[in-house]
Amino acid sequence: MSGEMQLQMKRIADLEEELQRDREAKRQASQGLKVSELSSELACCVCKDWLVHAATIQCSHSFCWSCIDRWLQTKQFICPVCRKEVTREPVRTRAVDQVVQKTVLQTSEEEKAEFAQRVKAAEEEEVRDKKHLAELEHHISEALKAGKKFFHISQLWGKKDKETFKKGVGQYAGNARETYCKLTGMTVQWVHSADSTQLNVALHNVGLGTLVGALSWGEIWRNGNDIQASALTLSARVSALAKSALQIREGFGDFFVSFLNQNGSVADKVHRLNVTYCQDSFRQCLDAHDFDVVVVGSESSEQIKLLAEEKEIPNLHCSGANPLTWTSQTPYAFGLQLPSTLYTQQVIRQAAARHLTTAVMIRDGDSEFQRLSAVSASEWIRESGLKLIGPSVSWRTQWMALTRCALVTVGGVTRCRCGAPEEAESLGYKYDSESPGFYEVAETTSHGDPGLVAFVEGVIEDVRAQGEDPQLVLNLLSSAESGLLAMKSKSFKYQMYYGQSVLADGSNLTFNDAIYNFGSGQWHEALRFADPIFGSTEAMVTRYLAQFGHVPSDDSAACIAAGVSLTYSLQKYGRSLVGLSPSERRVEIRRSLGQLNDETFFGRIRFDRNNQNVGRLPISWQLTEDGAQRLVLPPEFTVEELRFPSPSWQVKAGCPSGFGSSFGSPLPTECNACQEGTFRSTSTPPLQFSECEPCPLGRGTLPGERGSVDCPLCPAGRYQNGSSFGICSPCPTGTFANISGSVDCQPCDVDSYADEPGLDSCKPCPESSSQPQVGQASCICDVGSYRQAGLDGLACLPCDPVLPGGTTVHRNSRGPEDCVCPSGTHWYRPSSRSPLAYCRSCARGLLCPGGFDKGQQQAPLQARGYAAGLPAYPGAGPAYIISCSNNWQCPGELPLGECQPNSYGTACNKCNAGYYERDGRCQSCSEPLDVVPMLVALAFLLVAAGGFYVFATRMDRSHRVARRNDSLFIIIAAAGLTFLSVNALPIFSKIDVQLVEPLRSLRLILLVLSLDFDLLRPDCWKGGGEHPVSSYFGAIALYPCGSIALLCLFAIAKFVFKKDVTWYEVKYVHGVLTLPLAPGSFSLGYHRDVMCWRDDTHFLMLAMSFLPFFGVVVNFVVTIGTMVFRYPRKLGRQGGAKYVKQWSFIFGHFVPK
């Protein structure tokens, strides 16, 4: 032993010497450093404070002795700074302590006092540890003197572990043994064969609770159908022993066994349970007695499974929710508790059903339960389609001292991942290294609440750096209260929260902070199931409450369920145990339990192939308004409504003034800023509803102003009359308010306007504009001016600069495009290339209405009685303007170049094919010909011709008779001329006369008598209108043809009828040809489409006119002149009577005075 101690001391001296060298090098390199610069070198990186009782590990990093001791006790055998492996015990470094003390002396009095308190606390802890170590050494020494040995439970270790342990135990003694056990990193489960209460307490005090289990055993013999059972509790810590022992003793022994034995039977079978509690070791109990079944109430029950499996004894466990602890290697072990991996499933699925999309999760990496919960929760999140927000690379760099999260590079992308792939694979889940994961902290190194709170605050900052706050929070920390405190301090917003919600005494949190939070477990007193022993869950809880004054806990309920499962499975599925051997009884119990699939107060109990209860889902509760944990999930197990969403932190603290709390759920969920037009002057108590009040008349908030604590007077230019919902609305355009606190606005006066809302006075109308109405938003431009659209505030502009001579059609014109030419003028451009135009006076034959036509400047129209040609280009004048033959052909108000339907031509005097011209209109050739007037006219002509003949052949009668006949002829001719004059009036004077019967027929008769051949519709049978040249030629040829016809008549009378016809008579009758005047169609004015001095037709007709002019007109005038000149001389000479008679057709019309 002395050699080993010397070796240990030498190793410690080497470490101190190495440390001294490092410190000396640092001292020389840092001479002249300030205290602030030394603090980083003399501070513990775990507690972030001055080193107290400095201890140095093999990598030369120094820590407080208590800090590094706690670090290594959690099996983290790596340096907190450099992460190198730690394989040797830390060494106390007194030199560093001295440097720290001297440095602290240079700090403030407050800091020195705080350091002194820490040193004092560390020294007291060191004294306690020495005392406990001495006590432990004493008891171990006494046990060794008595011949007792330490042994290792071989069923739990492999061969290599055993050899390493035995070798290590041989090298270390005293407190070195504890160090060895920690540094080897082994799950140490070694038990002293001579256990005692005093030894257990000593081991617990020095942190060796994991090395020794406290066992209590009991046995009772039974007869007949009595079942011999043992109740065992095994805990990792002595402090938990009493709790576990109380739960199994109270729930299973004092309650269930007592109830069953008092009632004496289940259905038709009588069963009794004889139970005591063992005080010896479990192996000794099993070796000493034949037990039928073992009931285990502790979580640390793995060794009991193995020992019971050796004996093939059925063992029911009231704990063991971890599904990884149940395998096919222990078929005699049955776990009543449901898989803990399902705890979060229902909450996550409810979040997805309520359309939540994002989640964040934080777990305690030192707790196996929380590690498995986080892995399973990740699977449920993936299954539900939620997005899990995971840690970033920068977060891991900042908090690497408190987390085991690692950087993983996949596909060239580096991510931070917490948890190992083996964790997911052990539960049968697929590990996805590319998807985000959860956050993790090693709680044992976080140094209590302050460190853990700071860690969670760092998580919150990292989550917010990636986007908005998540909608679902899973707080899987063992100290969940610290995480919730961090969320409160950061106002971390969520709609659903899962995590521990039981607040410890003296907590910084209140009931309000945890309201609506979710938690999960195995059982709840509000469950409603039927039970074969107690009748129902409610009946069991009532009996338990009456007996113990409280409801059963999860573990107690599971222990009661173990008794119900054991008893009812034998009653329903088993056979009688009477006469069976112990092994046969155990087989029957195991077989009966395996067949169990029935409803109990614990819910349906059914064991899977690994014998863990999977009969139902775990339950979830919420902390509700009354302070109770109400059962809310699964929905089929409860009548309580799930509360959603969680109130915000602001609601939990009470909404401040200017805010109201929202309605719609049992509790308000958000503090909403008072909307515009409302206010709240007082704050709202926590978790209470409140409303914002509407502003009174004349007072209010500005639009968009929220969170008001009062309503000030509306400023000038604004009003509030109640219809605007408390908002100080700007006065509408056309109105104003010149005082504060206005209830309404006043309209602007005449010749003023308000072109923008919120004015406190109206603006006067600018020049060239006016406003005849009140309450207007703008002034209107007078006629002749305009204002650019959208520029209401500018002055009106005249039209002359953009269109000389122009004006506007109406007032309030909105642009230069509204400028038009006034009536009597038209828009005119001098040339097709001219960019400018002006208003030109309307020419004769045109009609200029001015203004617009179909969005364009109005072109001039044809005036009545005139035809005008198309312009050469837009804005040009007409190609020509001519006077039409009559107003029927040119009615006026037609666009330039257009004619009436079915007509065409320059002067619109031609008819389309199938039409003929009559009275200036083109009429259809399909209309029947009016023959009666033509027949009457023909008969009249025949009578007239006969009369002319008689008149012509009787010229030798007496003078009286000749005068009478001549007078009659003159009367008839005068009557014809009168009717022809009436008919010719519409043509030449353009007076519209619409004749009615019998005047219309009489006019047709006279037209026939006037030789108007248009009555025969030549346009219809010729296939088109006559050419002006041919028409003119016919008019010229009419007189020669008539003369020839008369000569033929006189020739027939003379040579056929042998009448006495003289040449003088023939000449006299030729004067009749002057009676029927040539119709207007024979004149040049009729053919208005012939342009004088422009068309070839005009030149040809002009040439043809020389013949009748000189042959008829000039000849007639010369003849008359000659005869008149010769008349006096001839009258007095011989043959004068003959001369007078010869020219009587002339002299008879002229009476010389």
CA-to-CA distance for 861 and 843, rounded, in angstroms?
11
- Count of CB atoms situated within 10 Å of the CB of 824: 12
Contacts of 484 (CB under 8 A, 6+ apart): 475, 497, 499, 501, 509, 513, 514, 517
Contacts of 638 (CB under 8 A, 6+ apart): 526, 527, 619, 630, 631, 632
How does strand 671-673 pair with strand 678-679? unpaired
Nearest to 953 by CA among 968, 940, 941, 965: 965
Residue of 450 and 518 predicted with greater confidence: 518
Residue of 345 and 917 predicted with greater confidence: 345
Helices (H) and strands (E) in the chain, counts: 34, 57
How does strand 333-335 pair with strand 315-317? parallel
Element (H, E) at 841: strand 838-841
Q: Which long-range contacts (CB under 8 A, 24 or more apart) does 155-162 make?
A: 155/303, 155/306, 155/307, 156/187, 156/189, 156/302, 156/303, 156/306, 157/186, 161/186
CA-to-CA distance for 240 and 217, rounded, in angstroms?
17
How does the average pLDDT of the chain come out, rounded?
78
Residue of 646 and 1090 predicted with greater confidence: 646
> Rounded mean pLDDT of 755-783?
89
Residue of 200 and 498 predicted with greater confidence: 498
> Rounded mean pLDDT of 137-164?
52
> Rounded mean pLDDT of 1060-1083?
55
- In this predicted structure, the answer to whether residue 989 has a pLDDT above a threshold of 80 is no
Q: Could you tell me the pLDDT band of residue 954, with boundaries at 50, 70 and 90?
A: low
Alpha helices, H only, 267-325: 282-288, 302-311
The predicted pLDDT at position 232 comes to 37
Nearest to 596 by CA among 637, 619, 562: 562
The predicted pLDDT at position 3 comes to 60
Nearest to 439 by CA among 460, 468, 464, 411: 460
The predicted pLDDT at position 948 comes to 61
CA-to-CA distance for 207 and 139, rounded, in angstroms?
16
Q: Could you tell me the pLDDT band of residue 1011, with boundaries at 50, 70 and 90?
A: low
Cα 1063 from chain centroid (whole Å): 116
Cα 1051 from chain centroid (whole Å): 113
The predicted pLDDT at position 241 comes to 28
Whether residue 645 has a cis bond before it, omega within 30° of 0? yes
Cα 276 from chain centroid (whole Å): 69
- In this predicted structure, the answer to whether residue 196 has a pLDDT above a threshold of 70 is no
The predicted pLDDT at position 1067 comes to 64
Residue that is written with structure tokens 């994991």 in the block: 210
The two tokens of residue 606 are 């059914």
Cα 637 from chain centroid (whole Å): 39
How do residues 305-347 score in pLDDT, each as one tens digit?
A: 888 888 899 999 988 899 999 998 999 999 999 999 999 999 9
Amino acid letter, 706: R
Q: CA 1123 → CA 970, 1115, 1142, distances in Å?
A: 22, 12, 11
The secondary structure of residue 341, as a DSSP letter, is G
Amino acid letter, 51: L
Q: Could you tell me the pLDDT band of residue 965, with boundaries at 50, 70 and 90?
A: very low
Whether residue 634 has a cis bond before it, omega within 30° of 0? yes
CA angle 121, 126, 128 (to 5 degrees): 95
Cα 136 from chain centroid (whole Å): 71
Cα 298 from chain centroid (whole Å): 55
The predicted pLDDT at position 565 comes to 94
The predicted pLDDT at position 1121 comes to 80
Q: Could you tell me the pLDDT band of residue 201, with boundaries at 50, 70 and 90?
A: very low
Q: CA 677 → CA 371, 430, 529, distances in Å?
A: 52, 56, 54
Max mean pLDDT among 70-79, 185-194, 989-998, 1047-1056 falls in 1047-1056
Max mean pLDDT among 175-189, 347-361, 1055-1069 falls in 347-361
> Rounded mean pLDDT of 120-137?
77
Radius of gyration of the chain (CA): 65
**With contact defined as beta carbons under 8 Å apart, do 332 and 307 qualify?**
no
**With contact defined as beta carbons under 8 Å apart, do 1090 and 1098 qualify?**
yes
Domains and CATH numbers, the chain: 2-107 (3.30.40.10), 131-205 (no CATH), 217-338+524-615 (3.40.50.2300), 347-520 (3.40.50), 714-777 (2.10.50.10), 821-928 (no CATH), 930-1091 (no CATH), 1105-1153 (no CATH)
> Rounded mean pLDDT of 65-93?
75
Amino acid letter, 1152: P
The predicted pLDDT at position 952 comes to 53
The predicted pLDDT at position 161 comes to 53
**Distance spanning both ends of the chain, measured CA to CA:** 192
SS3 889: coil
DSSP assignment of 37-93: HHTTTSEETTTTEE-SSEEE-TTS-EEEHHHHHHHHHTT--B-TTT--B--S--EE-
Phi, psi of 297 (to 5 degrees): -115, 5
CA-to-CA distance for 916 and 910, rounded, in angstroms?
8
How do residues 379-395 score in pLDDT, each as one tens digit?
A: 999 999 999 999 999 99
The predicted pLDDT at position 663 comes to 72
The predicted pLDDT at position 494 comes to 95
> Rounded mean pLDDT of 417-438?
84
- In this predicted structure, the answer to whether residue 265 has a pLDDT above a threshold of 60 is no
How do residues 392-416 score in pLDDT, each as one tens digit?
A: 999 988 888 888 888 888 778 888 8
- In this predicted structure, the answer to whether residue 373 has a pLDDT above a threshold of 60 is yes
Q: Could you tell me the pLDDT band of residue 1070, with boundaries at 50, 70 and 90?
A: low
Contacts of 315 (CB under 8 A, 6+ apart): 293, 294, 295, 296, 304, 305, 308, 332, 333, 334
- In this predicted structure, the answer to whether residue 151 has a pLDDT above a threshold of 70 is no
Q: Could you tell me the pLDDT band of residue 558, with boundaries at 50, 70 and 90?
A: very high
The predicted pLDDT at position 479 comes to 87
Q: Which value, to the nearest 10 degrees, does the dihedral of the CA atoms of residues 532, 536, 542, 544 take?
A: 40
CA-to-CA distance for 170 and 164, rounded, in angstroms?
10
> Rounded mean pLDDT of 624-633?
90
- In this predicted structure, the answer to whether residue 40 has a pLDDT above a threshold of 50 is yes
CA-to-CA distance for 1069 and 1146, rounded, in angstroms?
11
The predicted pLDDT at position 35 comes to 47
- In this predicted structure, the answer to whether residue 464 has a pLDDT above a threshold of 90 is yes
- Count of CB atoms situated within 10 Å of the CB of 297: 29
Q: Could you tell me the pLDDT band of residue 664, with boundaries at 50, 70 and 90?
A: low
The secondary structure of residue 607, as a DSSP letter, is B
Contacts of 1104 (CB under 8 A, 6+ apart): 1029, 1032, 1033, 1036
> Rounded mean pLDDT of 171-187?
42
The predicted pLDDT at position 23 comes to 62
The predicted pLDDT at position 598 comes to 96
**With contact defined as beta carbons under 8 Å apart, do 390 and 438 qualify?**
yes
Query: What is the number of residues in the chain?
Result: 1153
- In this predicted structure, the answer to whether residue 708 has a pLDDT above a threshold of 80 is yes
The predicted pLDDT at position 287 comes to 78
Alpha helices, H only, 930-958: 932-953
Stated pTM of the model: 0.54
CA-to-CA distance for 416 and 433, rounded, in angstroms?
9
Residue of 688 and 940 predicted with greater confidence: 688
> Rounded mean pLDDT of 553-567?
92
- In this predicted structure, the answer to whether residue 848 has a pLDDT above a threshold of 70 is yes
Cα 178 from chain centroid (whole Å): 64
